[in-house]
Structure 1
Amino acid sequence: MAEDTMNGDSLAGLQAGALPIFFEQIHSQLLLAGSEVRRLFHGRGRMFDGLEQITCDWVGQQLMVSVFKQPSEGFLNNLKHGLIAMADSPLWQKCQGRSIVLQHRYEKGAPSEVLVGELQRNPIVVESDINYRLDIGQNQNFGLFLDMRLGRNWVKAQSKGKNVLNLFAYTCGFSVAAIEGGADQVVNVDMSRSSLTKGRENHKLNGHNLNQVKFLAYDIFRSWGKISRMGPYDLIVIDPPSFQKGSFALTKDYKRILRRLPELLNQDGDVLACVNSPKVSSQFLIDGMQEEAPELSYKERIDNPPEFADINPEASLKVLRFSREK
């Protein structure tokens, strides 16, 4: 990583001289993404020197660029010039690009600056032939975590005929994938009623039978009885935040969930346990499961999408499968 300096056109993780690599990557990844929602550039994985503090997403024919640290004036000017120039490229026309938005994540409120076109705040996007409605510009997260693409694909492929429990459901991405894959029922649990409402909309977008989907705006730790009554489950997905003030702290509370799994899971059921904190490794989940639910054994780690390559895989998203065998 570059040194933190205020000289010339570089700061830590933001070097103007590295921007040609940024634009080359966007061009090649945009060709691969086509019309699907996708991370095009992941500087946060520290695979590109001088670009560690910038990302770029392709969201509903919008280019969403996020800068995470105060850039030099030279870097910012070159970045904007290159992005605006993209709007005149044949590739932009081929991909039917609509707008280019620059989000200043280092500023309070993470304000967005529209460089080209108009911001589409609620686009409907496609991932693996599934539709999702996003909410752009209101929060730092727009309703679908793109690094979980292969996790959702795995759930879709494994859900046929199953009863699925989706803990910390957020906007129900796993639930939509499960029903799309033929699940008999999905039970979504999340404290945020507004997130679950968006999840319901995502199911409707895909023409799903909502009689097969439950939306429970519950505090998980106070609702085990209600959750258990809808089981036992063939597949349980656990995808918590690293920290949620007043309700969840990863290193303290994750084990409280793991110890409940034996009473919730069918004899040959699977658990997909996820953690996205760089402060803990896969071993945190493996050891925690062995301690709290030894009936479940570790089977595999689901790959992260290649566009989320990280110099240290243990600092990136960890998605681990555990199984309870007969």
Structure 2
Amino acid sequence: MQVNALPDFFNELNKALPNCDNEIRRIFHGRGRLWQGLDQLTADWLGTQLIVNLFKPVDDEFMQSLAQGLQHLSQTEQWKHIGAQGIGLQHRYEHGAPFEVITGNIELKPVAIENGLKYQLELGKNQNSGLFLDMRLGREWLQQRAQDKAVLNLFSYTCGFSVAAIEGGASKVVNVDMARASLTRGRDNHRLNQHDLSKVTFMGHDIFRSWGKITKAGPYDVIVIDPPSFQKGSFALTKDYKRILRRLPSLLTPQGIVLACVNSPAVTQDFLIDTMLEEAPELIYQQRLANPLEFADIDEQASLKALVFSR
């Protein structure tokens, strides 16, 4: 990270802020490596507050310049015009991802809005706030295709795909994630959007030990698979993904479709295409969903890969 690159960061913020409204968005994505010297820096707009994330330690000069620049930003007429309330900085590289308020007031449990849907976030406790912003177009894709569909949401986290599916008219959604606290947040997200929870199932189970329950609740018209790249003791991408893919034919309806995702820079989309061909050859690759423009990456194979397959 280079302190002399920070003017580029603030120039980008100044260009993005006039277009900020009450929707949550990534407004600076240094991790796409398009900004030399800023590759471990991001900034997210949460509707009324700006959250800056550092992914690696920086020296004192960089930290002081970053903080001073953010303080200055908060005093501009542009900042006041958009009704901004505060700026927070999260140190994602440290254990517990500690959070500090740079200026103003920060709501640590804000309700964010994406495409008109509400999501409960939580800042300052975990690395992830509760919604992966690069998956915005994936949630849109599902919402547009969910009418009267039965949906299986594997590795559901806080059920963002489930919220989009029910909003899109899904007949039912089955969410599976071993983190029960995340599923509790998922229930809250559905309640925030006044959804009928009788259409939503929450399974707080290890997927690999729950195929019987998952199968019994099927079959499914749409299956979403959005796993972590690695989860100690429960999921290793290159080893365990194939164990899921081989189950898909028995879970899907005859015209079923799959959205299979991977967000590891260590593998390309060919990993998913080749593994699907090996484990479930009746499912044919159709397309890769575009990523939001704000997540542009110098190497598209290093960014989120969300691939659609169908029988």
Could you say which TM-score interval applies, normalised by the shorter chain?
Answer: over 0.9
User: Does the 8 Å CA contact 1:167/1:188 hold for their aligned counterparts?
Assistant: yes
Show the counterpart of 1:25.
Answer: 12
Partner amino acid, structure 1, of 2:34: M
SS in 1 for 2:241: helix
Deviation at 1:259, TM superposition (A): 0.3
Structure 1: distance between partners of 2:188 and 2:4: 44
Show the counterpart of 2:112.
Answer: 125
Partner amino acid, structure 1, of 2:207: I
Show the counterpart of 2:186.
Answer: 199
Deviation at 1:73, TM superposition (A): 2.3
Partner amino acid, structure 1, of 2:126: N
Show the counterpart of 2:233.
Answer: 246
Choose the corresponding residue for 1:134, options 95, 102, 121: 121
Write out per-residue CA displacement over residues 208-240 of structure 1, whole angstroms, 9 at most, x where no aligned residue.
000010001111111111111111110000000
Aligned residues: 311
* Larger displacement relative to structure 2 (205-214 or 91-100): 91-100
TM-score (norm 2): 0.98
Q: Matches of residues 1-326 of structure 1 in structure 2 within 5 Å?
A: 14-324=1-311
Deviation at 1:67, TM superposition (A): 1.5
Deviation at 1:28, TM superposition (A): 1.9
* Larger displacement relative to structure 2 (134-143 or 21-30): 21-30
SS in 2 for 1:183: coil
Deviation at 1:50, TM superposition (A): 1.1
Structure 1: distance between partners of 2:14 and 2:152: 39
Structure 2: distance between partners of 1:246 and 1:67: 27
User: Does the 8 Å CA contact 1:35/1:95 hold for their aligned counterparts?
Assistant: no
User: Does the 8 Å CA contact 1:60/1:123 hold for their aligned counterparts?
Assistant: no
Structure 2: distance between partners of 1:305 and 1:33: 15
Kindly, what percent of the aligned residue pairs are identical? 59
Partner amino acid, structure 2, of 1:270: I
Partner amino acid, structure 2, of 1:25: E
Structure 2: distance between partners of 1:49 and 1:160: 44
Unpaired runs of 5+ residues, structure 2, are none
Structure 2: distance between partners of 1:117 and 1:163: 44
* Structure 1 pair 228–214 and aligned structure 2 pair: CA distance change class (3 A): same
Structure 1: distance between partners of 2:203 and 2:92: 32
Partner amino acid, structure 1, of 2:32: G
Structure 1: distance between partners of 2:47 and 2:177: 26
User: Does the 8 Å CA contact 1:42/1:55 hold for their aligned counterparts?
Assistant: yes
SS in 1 for 2:285: strand
Structure 2: distance between partners of 1:228 and 1:31: 48
Structure 2: distance between partners of 1:213 and 1:155: 15
User: Does the 8 Å CA contact 2:30/2:40 hold for their aligned counterparts?
Assistant: yes
Deviation at 1:104, TM superposition (A): 2.2
SS in 2 for 1:226: helix
SS in 2 for 1:64: strand
Deviation at 1:108, TM superposition (A): 3.6
Write out per-residue CA displacement over residues 281-311 of structure 1, whole angstroms, 9 at most, x where no aligned residue.
1000000100010110000000111111110
Structure 2: distance between partners of 1:312 and 1:149: 19
SS in 2 for 1:266: strand
Partner amino acid, structure 2, of 1:26: L
Partner amino acid, structure 2, of 1:277: S
* Structure 1 pair 138–255 and aligned structure 2 pair: CA distance change class (3 A): same
Deviation at 1:177, TM superposition (A): 0.2
Alpha-carbon RMSD: 1.1
Unpaired runs of 5+ residues, structure 1, are 1-13
Deviation at 1:159, TM superposition (A): 0.5
SS in 1 for 2:218: coil
User: Does the 8 Å CA contact 1:84/1:115 hold for their aligned counterparts?
Assistant: yes
Structure 1: distance between partners of 2:98 and 2:279: 43
Deviation at 1:107, TM superposition (A): 3.4
SS in 2 for 1:165: strand
